Amino acid sequence: MLFRVTMVCAIALAAPMAAQAHHSYAMFDRSKTVTLNGTIRQFQWTNPHSWIQLTTPNDAGGTDEWSIEMGSPFELLRVGWTSTTVKAGDKVSIQVHPVKDGSKGGGFVSGTDAGGHALGGGK
Amino acid sequence: MISTLLKRAALAALLAAAAVSAHAAPNTAKRVQAFAKLPDWSGYWIADSIHETAGSLLDVPKVKFFGDIPYNPTWKAQYDKRRGELREKEVKQCIIDFPTTMESPQPFMLTVTPEQTIYMAGDGTFRQIFTDGRGHPPKDQLFPSVTGHSIGRWEGQTLVVDTIARTPGPVLFLGAAAFSEQAHFHERISLTGKDKLEDEMTIDDPVALTHPWTVKLGYDRTTLIDRLDPYYCELDDRIGFQDGKMVIKPPSDAGK
């Protein structure tokens, strides 16, 4: 129960542009925010995007693995993240804009650690 | 046998001497003096117009090349159409062109020498700005490229740059400004503070713009990094396409 996935329909955003990017954001549903409670399996501190691989329990008693896209390492550095902000085994709660096709992926919005502190300072 | 060994030893000595000579060749006094006059643009720079979040989606209202550009009605309509499509279309574009690269969220470095200034961005985009007195190549030898052909000269500590032959639009970088084959870029790059750099750029494009357009781009010298981390977008980006649909590729260790 602790690690269940919660889907929240957020207010539709004003559709700001996915500018300064080498791919559009159309694959992600920006009208929805999903809260994922799970365990970090891997934090890929890589260009052009960093990724969090997060395992969450599913209704069948197993686990799912989510791929969560973030900005580049330099972009993350500028908002307070480092390559060790999260590490394998950390329990976290992460909000994402989910992939529209229902696969286990999303664009990072925000996150907190097990103590409720905003990851990377919350920016 | 001894003769052969002697010949080999002599050859080795010659090669070693040549190698030492090549490595030991000092700069001429003239070149050292030329270096001494150049500004210190060392380190790593980042556009000050970028506002990051930890997510990959950026809202960048201050970025000039995604903003209000004085296009004529025809080019304005094309620009608006592309930007509108970007909201809903699944598209990927790995080419980062000039001038868009000058406002990229990726940091860049500038290597200043008397003969040229080299711009190298973290995404791999580079520019050579020749300051050795050459002009642009003649038309029959001038082929467009995504960063064009740049020549420059020093006015004191200001690098004055002239760029032509930038590959014409319509789409090089997602949603960014497009320019015609007649676009002519004039830049004045200089320090405005110890760790502040400015690029005042005027774009003259009689095909696309209603009038020459001047933008001021600001940069901060950053201490957050001590190197660039190059990548190849098509290979290293986990966003790809399958059957025409954008997908997230599995992590590199998937299934291991």
Least CA distance to A23: which residue of chain B? B92
What ipTM does this complex have? 0.80
If you average pLDDT over every residue of chain B, what do you get? Answer: 85
| CA neighbor of A75 nearest in space, from A123, A22, A16 | A123
Task: Say yes or no for a CB contact (<8 Å) between B55 and A107.
Answer: yes
SS3 B39: coil
pLDDT of amino acid B17: 53
pLDDT of amino acid B14: 53
Tell me the chain A residues in contact with residue B239 when contact means C-beta distances shorter than 8 Å: 23, 27, 49, 69
The yes-or-no verdict on residue B216 having pLDDT over 60 is yes
For A:29-48, CB contacts with B below 8 A are 30, 42, 44, 46-48
Least CA distance to B230: which residue of chain A? A47
Task: Say yes or no for a CB contact (<8 Å) between A67 and B248.
Answer: yes
Phi, psi torsion values for B103, nearest 5 degrees: -125, 25
DSSP class of residue A122? -
Tell me the chain B residues in contact with residue A44 when contact means C-beta distances shorter than 8 Å: 251
pLDDT of amino acid A106: 96
Task: Say yes or no for a CB contact (<8 Å) between B105 and A71.
Answer: yes
Task: Say yes or no for a CB contact (<8 Å) between B54 and A71.
Answer: yes
**A17 at interface of B, judged by CB pairs closer than 8 A:** yes
Whether the CB-CB separation of B67 and B76 falls below 8 Å is answered with no
Phi, psi torsion values for B112, nearest 5 degrees: -100, 120
SS3 A77: helix
Contacts of B136 (CB under 8 A, 6+ apart): B142, B149, B151, B162, B164, B165
DSSP class of residue B16? H
Tell me the chain B residues in contact with residue A108 when contact means C-beta distances shorter than 8 Å: 54-56
pLDDT mean over B104-132: 94
DSSP E strands: which ranges in A1-123?
6-9, 32-44, 51-57, 63-69, 91-98, 105-113
Question: Which tokens in the block code for residue B106?
Answer: 């990726």
Name the pairing type of β-strands A51-57 and A6-9: unpaired
The yes-or-no verdict on residue B29 having pLDDT over 60 is yes
The yes-or-no verdict on residue A3 having pLDDT over 60 is no
**A23 at interface of B, judged by CB pairs closer than 8 A:** yes
Q: Which amino acid is at A47?
A: N
Tell me the chain B residues in contact with residue A112 when contact means C-beta distances shorter than 8 Å: none
Q: How confident is the model at residue A10 (pLDDT cuts 50, 70, 90)?
A: very low
Chain A and chain B share a number of CB contacts under 8 A equal to: 165
Percent share of chain A, pLDDT over 70: 81
pTM of the model: 0.82
Q: How confident is the model at residue B188 (pLDDT cuts 50, 70, 90)?
A: very high
The yes-or-no verdict on residue B97 having pLDDT over 90 is no
For A:47-106, CB contacts with B below 8 A are 47-49, 51, 53, 67, 69-79, 81, 97, 99, 101, 103, 105
More confident call, B12 vs A5: B12
Tell me the chain A residues in contact with residue B238 when contact means C-beta distances shorter than 8 Å: 49, 51, 67, 69
Neighbours of B248 (CB within 10 A): 22
Task: Say yes or no for a CB contact (<8 Å) between B251 and A44.
Answer: yes
The yes-or-no verdict on residue B100 having pLDDT over 80 is yes
For B:162-191, CB contacts with A below 8 A are 173-176
| CA neighbor of B131 nearest in space, from B147, B156, B151, B104 | B151
Q: How confident is the model at residue B21 (pLDDT cuts 50, 70, 90)?
A: low
| CA neighbor of B148 nearest in space, from B171, B129, B166 | B166
> Partners of B198 in the beta sheet?
B190, B218
Task: Say yes or no for a CB contact (<8 Å) between A47 and B231.
Answer: yes
Give the closest-approach CA distance of A4 to chain B in angstroms: 22
| CA neighbor of A38 nearest in space, from A5, A73, A77 | A5
pLDDT of amino acid B172: 58
Least CA distance to B237: which residue of chain A? A48
**B94 at interface of A, judged by CB pairs closer than 8 A:** yes
The yes-or-no verdict on residue B86 having pLDDT over 80 is no
If you average pLDDT over every residue of chain A, what do you get? Answer: 83
The yes-or-no verdict on residue B144 having pLDDT over 90 is yes
Least CA distance to B53: which residue of chain A? A123
